[in-house]
Structure formats: structure tokens, C-alpha cells
Amino acid sequence: MNLSKDQLQKIEHAGSIFLTIAEMAVFLNMEESVVRAEMAKRHSEFRTAYNRGKVGSIIELKEQEMKMAKMGAPVGLESVRVSKVEIELEDV
């Protein structure tokens, strides 16, 4: 699929706000089956743009959680603890 720079930016934005495939289809004015097919391709421009947006937001959220944890906020401490467990399980 050939995607314009504008389309790739919209897809990245969709990833940054964690849109589902159905929501993305509406947002991008595309058939859901087309969006689903592009997301299924491991190395498609579409999926890469979506993942770039998603990971960017995840990084921002984790940075905020870490700041909250450093200030002693219980929700921040719990979020960081959960993230640490997830990382340790992934490293196994």
C-alpha cells in the first residue's frame, strides 16, 4: 500500500491515542478489512507508523509514572512496580 506522508502522520496519531482497528478505519476513512490487513503485515509502513505513535505515548506515560513514583505517589509506585515485573518476565 502506498501511503502519503499525511496518511502516515494520521496513522501515527491513531497509534498515539490507542485507537482500535475499527476506530482507526473510521478515523482514516478506510475499510476496516483494509486496516486489519495492513496491521497484520509485520513490516508494513502502516503498522510501523501505528506502533511508532503507540510506543511514543507509552514512553510518555511511563515517564509520568516514574516521576509520580519518585514523589512517593502510591499510584506511581504501583505502576512502576508492575512495569518492573513485566520487564523481568520479558527478560526470561
Number of CB atoms found within 10 A of residue 46's CB: 22
| Distance of alpha carbon 54 from alpha carbon 17, whole angstroms | 7
67 alpha carbon, distance to own chain's centre: 21
As a residue count, the chain comes to: 92
| Domain range list for the chain | 5-90
Give pLDDT tens digits along the chain (92 positions).
899 999 999 999 999 999 999 999 999 999 999 999 999 999 999 999 999 999 999 999 999 989 988 999 988 888 888 888 888 888 76
Eight-class DSSP state of 17: T
Which residue spans within the chain are E strands per DSSP?
none
pTM: 0.83
42: enclosing H helix or E strand: none
